[in-house]
Amino acid sequence: MSNSFEHSLSYIEQFFINVKQAQALTVINFKSFPQRFAASLVSILSIGCVAAVILSVLAMTEGMMKTLAQSGLDNTVLIMRAGAVSELQSVMFPAEMNILANNSKVIRDAEGQAQVSAEMFVNAEVNFTDTSGQQVSKSLALRGISATTMKFRPNFKLVSGQLFTTGVRQLLIGQAIARRMPELSVGENITLGGAQWQISGIFSDDNSVFESELWADIGMVQSDYQRGNTIQSVRLALNNIDDLVSLEKEWQDDPRLNIRVITEKQFFAEQGESLTRLIRWLGFPVALVMALGAMVAALNTMYAAIASRSKEIATHKAIGFSPFAISTSILCEAVLIALVGGVSGILPLYLVFDGWTAATQNANSLSQMMFNFDINLKLIAQSMALALLIGLLGGLLPAFKAMRLSVTEALRD
Amino acid sequence: MQNTNDIILKAINKSYQKGDNTVVVHDDFNLTIKSGEFVALMGPSGLGKSTLLHLMGGLDQPTQGEVLIGGQRIDNLPQKKLTQWRAENIGFIFQSHHLLPVLTAQGNVELPLALTPLNRKQRKQHASMALQLVSMSERADHYPKELSGGQEQRVAIARAIVSDPKILLCDEPTGNLDRKTADEILALLAKLNSDSGKTIVMVTHDHKAAEYASRVINLESYILSQNNSLSKNEELLQNIEPEVDDISIGASS
Ligand SMILES: Nc1ncnc2c1ncn2[C@@H]1O[C@H](COP(=O)(O)OP(=O)(O)OP(=O)(O)O)[C@@H](O)[C@H]1O
Ligand SMILES: [Mg+2]
């Protein structure tokens, strides 16, 4: 028997033997998992909570980014007053718009009309009676639009009702608002800044951010909000978006203009980033604290598991299982707990919330913007990875303890 | 000589450090067990019987001295090699069987074979053979909770012998069993000794159990006699005739 021992195993052989041993023990641990399910429940649930919170934060920001990304056409350029971060902060004059519109790089239609849209954008205090007869007041984004605005919104569709009549206090409401406030239906009257407005229709725009706005005739908005003939932003379409760099330089050098030039896509992406950052700043610390808690729970569960199985572990060692194999099987068990926990957190969220509309406060406009939870495979994988990591870290110390467990001591008591 | 499975404990010191106190369990302890022997190790509680067994099986290391098995020192083997050596050469049987409740008798017996290069089918075969040796073939598909204490211990023995180790180390293997069942288990061990040539060292408190052994060592008187003998080391190393080693209870050589 000593001769069988004289050949020394290579490291690779040794490794595969270890893996095989770990596999055998892991299979056994998994088989007994149903019996220990109750004891592992706290770990499972706390890991599940972490996975759910992380997935919510990720899904919310992802949905937001998606919504914003759908909001701009490739060749649309947004012009605001220099220094304005949002349309709300911007003021522009008709003369400026004329200079912009006269540029040859802007698209023109058959009649030679430049594709330029002047827009107002205000925070409107909206008062209406809700279904229970209660008087409610909401802050909503009101956009004053002109005839050309629709050309920038190829996905615009009337869901019900009709367009507003120019020169009349009528407005369209975005589908996202209509969904959340069913009392705002076509034909209803609402109060905006003291004046009565009538809802003429409801529109959709391929889930873009505009679905969270009220649209009305720019002239009516200018007069109701005492803006004279000033506007807030200008959208224009370029023949070739690659001209933007030279065009921006040309306009920046023009002493008559003092403007900020940005593609609409870029503008919304920036807004999305600041919102995303805000949500993550709020969400991630919470998730981190919960993750630590879940890790401690997993640690506890695994410590208890190896304590109750110390004789079993000692027997395995006496039989000749390697400490590596034993601790690996403990780690696998911790990861299994994390896996079950992850599924228990992610699955309900997926079933209930995928596509659910969640409302957030737009950090810039403070108006209600509606976003979709967007739960996709990438986010599920990320949340699951975190859950598994928690299990792995929580199992590390117990696995180490099992590795160090003294057979003689375990067998003696 | 080198290929036999003699167990030699040479000038063993085993002590524990507890703060300023040193607990000496064994001091200058010598013992040779010949390949093919069935030794019953008896003696009062706390005298270090289990400790000796653990030293022989490489579960524990002596503070000083050497443990030689088949001519090879195992007390200074690195942990990895020791584990592997143990898997190949030693079968342990404890008072409690420590069978895994989630595995059938067959599954429990197959477990140590995960440490060998045998394939699935071979593992099954070996385990079936081991179960047959302990007369548990009919219960192969039963779970431990469906077996009696004696049956469980039989399965534990099958698990200990399945990888065909030459040495079986048993720590009070019948301690939890009634007389009749204990006798069955002891007869089984005696059979493994006589038919399969296993070297067996069995710690027991049961005088009737000791009757199954080919040699009985009462640790208390053995230690006394060792201390009385002046040239004990040379004697143990040089005299390999059975009579010299055969120290019966209370007698001194
Ligand atoms: N970790 C330890 N620290 C200090 N002393 C220890 C330790 N482990 C064992 N001992 C001591 O070693 C001695 C021998 O223990 P061992 O278990 O070998 O006795 P034993 O002869 O098998 O007893 P029993 O018949 O009760 O099983 C005991 O006195 C015990 O207290
Ligand atoms: Mg003992």
The continuous run of DSSP H or E covering A175 comes out as helix A175-180
| Domain edges within chain A | 19-68+272-412, 76-239
- Tell me the Ramachandran region of residue A209: left when phi exceeds 0, alpha when psi lies from -120 to 50, beta otherwise: alpha
Q: Is the minimum CB–CB distance between A13 and chain B shorter than 8 Å? A: no
- pLDDT over threshold 50, residue A252: yes
Taking the alpha carbons of A358, A362, A367, A369 in that order, is the dihedral positive or negative?
negative
CB contact under 8 A, A408 and B111: no
Q: Is the minimum CB–CB distance between A1 and chain B shorter than 8 Å? A: yes
Point out the ligand nearest to the CA of residue B18.
1
CA angle A10, A11, A12 (to 5 degrees): 90
Confidence of residue A44 (pLDDT cuts 50, 70, 90): very high
Q: Is the minimum CB–CB distance between B118 and chain A shorter than 8 Å? A: no
The continuous run of DSSP H or E covering A135 comes out as strand A135-145
In A320-349, the residues whose Cβ lies within 8 Å of chain B are: 320-323
Ligand 1 binding pocket includes B16 (Cβ within 6 Å):
yes
Chain CA centroid to CA A69, Å: 12
Ligand 1 binding pocket includes B91 (Cβ within 6 Å):
no
Ligand 1 binding pocket includes A412 (Cβ within 6 Å):
yes
CB contact under 8 A, B115 and A320: yes
Helix (H, G, I), strand (E, B) or coil at B12: strand
Picking from A14, A20, A315, the nearest residue to B114 by CB comes out as A20
Chain CA centroid to CA B160, Å: 10
Can you tell me which residue has the tokens 């049961």? B206
For the question of an ipTM over 0.90, the answer is no
Q: Is the minimum CB–CB distance between B4 and chain A shorter than 8 Å? A: no
- pLDDT over threshold 80, residue A262: yes
For a ligand 1 pocket test, name from B18, B49, B203 the mutation site with the most ligand atoms within 8 angstroms of its C-beta.
Answer: B49
Mean pLDDT of B21-28: 91
Question: Rounded to a whole number, what is the distance in Å from the CA of A356 to chain B's nearest CA?
Answer: 44
- pLDDT over threshold 70, residue A7: no
B41 bridge partner residues:
B203, B217
- pLDDT over threshold 60, residue A89: yes
The continuous run of DSSP H or E covering B133 comes out as helix B120-133
Per-residue pLDDT, A371? 58
Picking from B51, B80, B100, the nearest residue to A322 by CB comes out as B80
Per-residue pLDDT, A370? 52
Q: Is the minimum CB–CB distance between A143 and chain B shorter than 8 Å? A: no
Question: Rounded to a whole number, what is the distance in Å from the CA of A17 to chain B's nearest CA?
Answer: 7
CB contact under 8 A, B3 and A28: no
Confidence of residue A357 (pLDDT cuts 50, 70, 90): low
Confidence of residue A367 (pLDDT cuts 50, 70, 90): very low
**pLDDT > 90 fraction of chain A, expressed in percent and rounded:** 42
How far apart (Å, rounded) are the C-alpha atoms in residues A18 and B152?
Answer: 28
Helix (H, G, I), strand (E, B) or coil at A35: helix
Question: Which chain residues have CB less than 5 Å from ligand 2, an ion?
Answer: B 50
Per-residue pLDDT, A320? 85
pTM comes to 0.71
Average pLDDT of chain A? Answer: 86
How far apart (Å, rounded) are the C-alpha atoms in residues B246 and B249?
Answer: 10
Ligand 1, atom 2, lies closest to the CA of B16
Ligand 1, atom 29, lies closest to the CA of B46
For residue range B144-156, what is the model confidence (pLDDT) as tens digits?
999 999 999 999 9
Ligand 1, atom 8, lies closest to the CA of A409
Q: Which residues of A touch B100 (CB under 8 A)?
A: 28, 32, 312
A23-28: Cβ within 8 A, 24+ apart: A23/B114, A24/A325, A24/B111, A24/B114, A25/A316, A25/A321, A25/A325, A25/A326, A25/A328, A25/A329, A26/A328, A26/A329, A26/A332, A26/A333, A28/A329, A28/B100, A28/B102, A28/B103, A28/B111
- pLDDT over threshold 90, residue A276: no
| Domain edges within chain B | 7-98+169-242
> Which letter does DSSP use for residue A10 in this model?
P
For residue range A292-348, what is the model confidence (pLDDT) as tens digits?
998 898 898 889 888 888 888 888 888 888 888 899 999 998 999 999 999 999 999
Average pLDDT of chain B? Answer: 86
CATH of B7-98+169-242, one of 3.40.50.300, 3.30.470.10, 3.40.109.10, 3.40.640.10: 3.40.50.300
- Tell me the Ramachandran region of residue A162: left when phi exceeds 0, alpha when psi lies from -120 to 50, beta otherwise: beta
Mean pLDDT of A230-247: 92
Ligand 1 binding pocket includes B23 (Cβ within 6 Å):
yes
Can you tell me which residue has the tokens 């023109």? A108
CB contact under 8 A, A315 and B94: yes
For residue range B64-115, what is the model confidence (pLDDT) as tens digits?
999 999 989 999 999 888 888 888 899 999 888 888 888 899 999 999 988 8
Ligand 1 binding pocket includes B17 (Cβ within 6 Å):
no
Ligand 1 binding pocket includes B218 (Cβ within 6 Å):
no
Residue positions counted in chain A = 413
- Chain B: residue nearest A412 by CA? B50
For residue range A130-172, what is the model confidence (pLDDT) as tens digits?
888 888 888 899 999 998 998 899 889 999 999 999 999 999 9
Helix (H, G, I), strand (E, B) or coil at A354: coil
**Segment among A64-73, B9-18, B81-90, B177-186 with least mean pLDDT:** A64-73
> Residue A207: CB partners within 8 Å, gap ≥ 6?
A66, A67, A70, A176, A372
> Which letter does DSSP use for residue B115 in this model?
G
Per-residue pLDDT, B229? 66
Tokens of A154: 């190829």
